[in-house]
Amino acid sequence: MSKREPYDPSHIALLYEPKTGLDCTFSGDTPFGVLTFGFVAVDARRESLESLNDFRPISRMFRHLQFRGQWERNQQIKGVYAQQLRMANIHELTNGRETRELADMLERVNRIRFKLPCEPVSYGQFVVLMLRGLKVRQAVQTTKLKESRAYPSLQDWEFRSIGIGRELQGMIDRTIEETYFHE
């Protein structure tokens, strides 16, 4: 983070959207799933969601962060074996200051990951523990469009808040369980 702006993620929220973040596919004969989540901003009045922008360093940093988990849907390997909080779309960087800010955020993410209070037993628990370490206090899920539009933006959606804890962990883990092949 920039020395001038303190680290304050109070307006940042995890966007829980399994419909757009879930990809169930095959690699050869192995069925696998990938579930990704990104971040959004919640306006000060908590009335609408906004895309993260490049105008504030904290927004730039979270704009590039993405949770990613991967698992085998036939459960030959148990559990999520590739869970991470990573940088995505960093090809958009335009100057050295942004590069330093991203490097600072990656260092923060790595410190949090290595200082987790326990080894996560599920992808949902990993996401929750990392969010707590990042001091992100909210997750949101879009519910319905406020009005019909051909190309809706985040501001056009109503949303509900999700608690960062057992509620979010359970939702993520149930999403993954629903993709398993059952014999």
pLDDT by residue (tens digit) across 69-80?
988 888 777 778
Q: Which residue has the higher pLDDT, 108 or 98?
A: 108
Q: What is the mean pLDDT of the chain?
A: 86
What would the pLDDT profile of 167-178 be if each residue is shown by its tens digit? 999 999 999 988
Which residue, 59, 57, 21, is CA-closest to 40? 59
Q: How far apart are the first and last CA of the chain?
A: 49
Residue 48 CB partners (closer than 8 Å, separation 6+): 42, 154, 155
The 10s digit of each residue's pLDDT in 35-70 is 999 999 998 777 889 888 777 778 888 988 999 998
Q: Do the beta carbons of residue 103 and residue 116 sit within 8 Å?
A: no
Three-state secondary-structure class, residue 168: helix
Distance from C-alpha of 165 to C-alpha of 125, rounded to nearest angstrom: 8
| This prediction's pTM | 0.87
Using DSSP's 3-state secondary structure scheme, residue 131 falls into helix
pLDDT at 151 over 80: no
HSE value, Cβ hemisphere, 13 Å, CA-based, for 17: 16
Note whether 90 and 63 are within 8 A (CB): no
